[in-house]
Amino acid sequence: MEEIKENIEHDLEYYQSGIRQLYMKQYQKYLMSLLAIMLVTAIAIGLSESIVRAVLVLLFLIEIVLIVYILRYLRAEVFERYFQQIKGELPAEFQKMESIEVQEDDQAYYFLDDQELFVKLKKKNSRNFPSKIRQYTLLVGFTNELDEKTLEQPLQFFYYDITQIKYAASYKQELLKNANFIAKRRKRRLKSAAITIFLLILFGFAFFGLF
């Protein structure tokens, strides 16, 4: 267990820069969404009547408070505190991860506990980091859930055995279809090349036969 803990701490330290980028990206996404909402609210304030305007002004003030709340998570010391918390929690969670089944399709990774969906991480918002632990990969990403916990701890950390990952049924069909397509295309190319070589040989015999 001590070796696992040391390897996990090594992984987190080694990939700290990449983890920080994912962390910042999520809060920047929250800020951009809030700024877009604020812009719409500000335009609505200018076009609305007095009673509705008062409600919109209140909403605008709430949005400002939310932006200030999100901005505090972008401070270096807040990330460092969060990072140290993950370093303390992840080794204890590793043993549980060993029993979780991992599936994937072309869009997301699915972590199933007792055949029930435990966490879904979109591939677009996730990164795989090769681990010092043999055969394991550290996956870091986000869920689509938005609550107080995900606001304060936006990243999901999972270790999975890359040799044990399974494909969802629909993804298997897509992979097989693509594999068949590639095989057929390769076969057509080989056939075309063989015909071309055969014609060149015939042309060569005919050419040298005339001379």
- Over residues 148-207, the pLDDT tens digits come to 777 888 899 999 888 877 776 554 444 444 444 344 456 666 666 666 665 556 545 444
Question: For residue 189, what pLDDT is reported?
Answer: 64
Question: For residue 128, what pLDDT is reported?
Answer: 92
Instruction: Say if residue 124 is in the same domain as residue 34.
Output: yes
Phi, psi for 118 (deg, rounded to 5):
-95, -50
* Number of Cβ within a 10 Å radius of residue 121: 21
Instruction: Say if residue 178 is in the same domain as residue 78.
Output: no
Question: For residue 21, what pLDDT is reported?
Answer: 93
State the Cα–Cα distance between residues 166 and 103, nearest whole angstrom: 5
Instruction: Say if residue 70 is in the same domain as residue 142.
Output: yes
* Number of Cβ within a 10 Å radius of residue 49: 7
Residues 116 and 45 sit within 8 Å (Cβ to Cβ): no
Domain count, the chain: 2
CA distances from 16 to 119, 140, 166 (A): 23, 11, 28
Instruction: Say if residue 131 is in the same domain as residue 70.
Output: yes
Residues 167 and 107 sit within 8 Å (Cβ to Cβ): no
Question: For residue 176, what pLDDT is reported?
Answer: 42
* DSSP for 170-198, written as a single string: HHHHHHHHHHHHHHHHHHHHHHHHHHHHH
| Residue 140, strand partner residues | 127, 157
For 188, the domain range is: 168-211
Instruction: Say if residue 52 is in the same domain as residue 37.
Output: yes
User: pLDDT of the chain along its 211 residues, tens only?
Assistant: 788 889 999 999 999 999 999 999 989 988 999 999 989 888 888 887 777 888 888 999 999 999 999 999 999 999 999 999 999 899 888 878 877 888 887 788 888 876 555 678 888 878 999 999 988 999 999 887 777 777 888 899 999 888 877 776 554 444 444 444 344 456 666 666 666 665 556 545 444 444 4
Phi, psi for 145 (deg, rounded to 5):
-75, 145
Radius of gyration of the chain (CA): 27
Q: What count of residues does the chain have?
A: 211
Instruction: Say if residue 7 is in the same domain as residue 65.
Output: yes
| Parallel/antiparallel/unpaired status of strands 156-161 and 136-141 | antiparallel
Residues 159 and 94 sit within 8 Å (Cβ to Cβ): yes
Question: If DSSP states are collapsed to H, E and C, what string results for 123-142?
Answer: HHHCEEEECCCCCEEEEEEC
pTM tops 0.75, yes or no: no
- The vertex-200 CA angle with 198 and 204, nearest 5°, equals 120
End-to-end CA distance of the chain: 82
Token pair for residue 160? 């999975």
Instruction: Say if residue 149 is in the same domain as residue 180.
Output: no
Instruction: Say if residue 34 is in the same domain as residue 121.
Output: yes
